[in-house]
Structure 1
Amino acid sequence: KEAIEEGKVFLAICGGYRILGRYQDANGATLGLELFNFYTEETTDHFAGNIIVETDENYNLIGFENHVGKTYLNGLKPLGRVIFGFGNNGEDKTEGMRYKNTIGTYLHGPLLPNNPRLCDKIIEAALRNKYGTVELEKLDDSLEFETRRKILELIDPKFTSLA
């Protein structure tokens, strides 16, 4: 908890995301670290498939989600808003959570290679946390963005402009 408050970088995906809050398993046992005030309920609903998420930082995330829990944020800031897919619970159009430099998400598939802007932001935050001011050299992400375009085209051609 202290490291989170200090702005250390944490990326938690699927079960790692769940465990940051509180969740009830199929047997009714309450589990989780309760570092954040969100909760996940086990469900018989299976949320699986491609997902597209719009962030507040003017870029879209793509991935693959595969979970059977419904996560409710209790006012915590989501990572983004679901454009396509299910997200946290299939109901409120939120996906993941974000607090300082901690990100929790259901986006698998592979998250960082498919989302170079998010990857750059995570690296930058980690380096800034350790060294202070950081200026990263701009890399050629054209292959990553072409891959994103192809994935979005396979989901639905109307999404290719989101690459």
Structure 2
Amino acid sequence: MSSKTIVVAHLFPELLNLYGDSGNMLCFKKRMEWRGIQVEIREVHPGDTPSFNDVDIAFIGGGSDREQKIVCDKLLSVGNEITSFVEDGGVLMAVCGGYQLLGHSYLMGNEEIRGLSLVDLYTDHGDPRLIGNIVVDSPLCDHKVVGYENHAGRTHLGEGVTPFGKVVYGHGNDGNTGYEGVLYKNVIGTYIHGPLLPKNPGIADYAISHALERATGKSYLEPLDDTAELLANNTMVKRLLAGEVEEA
């Protein structure tokens, strides 16, 4: 395996960590270490100026409206660098509130907040909140993607923009279109948390392989024994589709 250290930047975990995002970082770390890939989880704190020069994977988690606005203002100050990172094939994963920041704008109460405009989408609000378990078919992995969603935002993709997947169970972007999340280059935006990656090893490996390819030119990952993870994933899918889970 290459001696290149894969750097994962966890952006503002103090502000955006409502949905177990530390579990996503642990998943990245262990799945690379088990393969002999050197990895650094680099936390970027509110007092830091984010830099993406040597970053391979950037992660933005979910938070409340107040924290989301603070983070967006901070990221807008380095917006050109983030855009360059994305256009150069950098891997960016954004969950829930972080997902909403990727677009042109999102509503905070009656105030329209400017987003990063990394992807052609925008988010407004609806009622009621879209809450509950979710199952999605995504082209990024062989297994169904499972998790939990809890959002008042309704995210609308621009014409021709590719969603993360098709909703099998749950609500997704807006509760109407049947689509969930967004894909653009190596950007993944999604409302799915719980956390996302430990429940869905195929998504973790998709991000790792693309980061590795950009860093070293080689994307091959040694297979791991994901028997336990996939059994838990499949059991939850079967229970949800059979109507065995009572949603609040």
What is the aligned partner in structure 1 of residue 179 from structure 2? 94
CA offsets per residue over residues 106-159 of structure 1, 9 Å max, x none?
000121011111111111111111111132111100000111122223323389
TM-score by length of 2: 0.61
What is the aligned partner in structure 2 of residue 17 from structure 1? 99
- Structure 2: where are the runs of 5+ without partners? 1-82
Q: Is the 8 A contact 2:136 2:145 kept in 1?
A: yes
**Counterpart pick for 2:144 among 60, 78, 95:** 60
Q: Is the 8 A contact 2:169 2:241 kept in 1?
A: no
Q: Is the 8 A contact 2:90 2:211 kept in 1?
A: yes
Q: Is the 8 A contact 2:89 2:186 kept in 1?
A: yes
Instruction: Let me know the Cα RMSD of the aligned residues.
Output: 1.6
What is the aligned partner in structure 1 of residue 228 from structure 2? 143
1 CA distance for matches of 2:158 and 2:146? Answer: 24
CA offsets per residue over residues 44-90 of structure 1, 9 Å max, x none?
32001010111234442111001000000012110001011000000
What is the aligned partner in structure 2 of residue 42 from structure 1? 125
**% same residue:** 40
Give the number of the structure whose alpha-carbon radius of gyration is greater.
2
TM-score by length of 1: 0.91
2 CA distance for matches of 1:59 and 1:149? Answer: 8
Question: Hey, which bits of structure 1, 4+ residues long, moved more than 4 A?
Answer: none
**Counterpart pick for 1:117 among 202, 215, 220:** 202
In the comparison of the two structures, how many residue pairs are matched? Answer: 159
